[in-house]
Homo-oligomer: A and B are copies of this chain.
Amino acid sequence: MVTAVNASNPDSPGANRAAPPSAKAALDALLDLVGEDLTRVNQTIVDRMHSPIALIPQLAGHLVAAGGKRLRPLLTLGSAKLCNYAGDRHITLAACIEFLHTATLLHDDVVDESSKRRGRDTANAVWGNKPSVLVGDFLFSRSFELMVEDGSLEVMAILSRASGVISEGEIHQLLTANNIETTEQAYIEVVGAKTAALFAASTRIGAVVADRPTAEKDALEAYGRNLGIAFQIADDFLDYSAREAELGKAIGDDFRDGKLTLPVIHAIARADADERAFWARCLEEQDFSDEDAEADLAQAMALLHKHGALDETVRRAHDYAEAARRALDIFPDGPIKDILVGIVDFSVERAY
């Protein structure tokens, strides 16, 4: 599988991208590399979701078991492996990161009033908003308890800061929603905070537990941050992609919610007066011409294509992907580095 990843020639910017099967192979290669560690992380997650209040493991387990890729814990495990870490701390900390991520997902789904995630009913759809808010709080606390057990102030500083930045990013996103003046810069700030901050923390911690020099911690952090931005841009691209139905997501959710993601930001930047009025009606006023917004979504897709907004979005994703790859330059070449490079391809290429 590593061969397949190498075949995508990730060190050569602008080279032909591997097709999705080879991107998937990169994730499989990472799973092969850290599979035993991941089993231990999953066991820690199950053990530490426990509470005498049975609803807590039920509700949290619904989401945890819902087929997430465990991408963030995998990044911690892979980064630790790249740094030749031989201890156990990365297991606890990877579980801790997944708890933090799961907490944000629970609150996200409440805030977005989502009914589906990864093709399944959301926890708020099954149990209501109240337990989702409170179980999210429980998972935040449990995540924090796991960090305290680990006992490293350096790790706690990284994760407490990431946690604050994530919520700032989520709030910033609320403020950009339904505002067609939102710039690409504001979008990147939101994505850098709500998504990439936890990726960056996940990868930096791999170097921290291995007690590597600051330059390597910074390099892995830069890898994670750029990877996270590329990942989120690809995710936002997917919301306007015919392929997303395969991934168990509802199509056009961001459009109907009036979210200002990169594809529409690019299309709005090139819009004439009529088109601008269309975007304002749909995204700001959420006044759709039919109940399911189907006709308007079709018109939005036509405008995205007309202005090359989707291609432009893909280019941006590749810019950040390239920055993620370059960040790993200070590490010697080898199969583990190849796998982490492959994860960059996976993160952007799942989209198209």
Contacts and interface: CB of A to CB of B under 8 A. Distances in A.
A55 B175 contact: yes
A107 B133 contact: yes
A288 interface: no
A1 interface: no
Given A55-B171, A140-B163, 11 more contacts: A55-B174, A56-B168, A134-B167, A137-B140, A141-B164, A141-B166, A142-B164, A144-B144, A145-B157, A148-B153, A151-B153
Contacts of A171: 53, 55-56, 131, 134-135, 138
15 contacts: A53-B171, A55-B175, A107-B134, A107-B137, A110-B133, A111-B134, A131-B171, A137-B166, A138-B168, A141-B167, A144-B160, A144-B164, A145-B157, A145-B160, A148-B160
A161 interface: yes
* Closest 10 pairs between A and B when the two form their complex, measured CB to CB: A141-B164, A138-B167, A141-B163, A137-B167, A144-B160, A111-B130, A145-B160, A148-B156, A134-B171, A134-B170
Interface of A: 51-53, 55-56, 104, 107, 110-111, 129-131, 133-138, 140-142, 144-145, 147-148, 151, 153, 156-157, 160-161, 163-164, 166-168, 170-172, 174-175
A147 B157 CA distance: 10
A174 B141 contact: no
Nearest to A59: B171
Q: Chain A interface secondary structure, helix, strand, loop or mixed?
A: helix
A53 B168 contact: yes
Q: How many copies does the complex hold?
A: 2
Contacts of A145: 157, 160-161, 164
Nearest to A143: B160
Contact of A174 (B130, B136, B163): B130
A182 B172 CA distance: 42
A211 to B, nearest CB: 19
Contacts of A107: 133-134, 137
A53 B110 contact: no
A235 B5 CA distance: 62
Given A168-B53, A171-B55, A160 B141 contact: yes
B168 A52 contact: yes
B138 A140 contact: no
Q: Which of A52, A157, A167 has the most CB of B within 10 A?
A: A167
Nearest to A128: B174
A24 to B, nearest CB: 33
A264 B316 CA distance: 61
A192 to B, nearest CB: 13
Contacts of A138: 164, 167-168, 171
Contacts of A144: 144, 156, 160, 163-164
A142 B53 CA distance: 27
Contact of A137 (B131, B134, B147, B170): B170
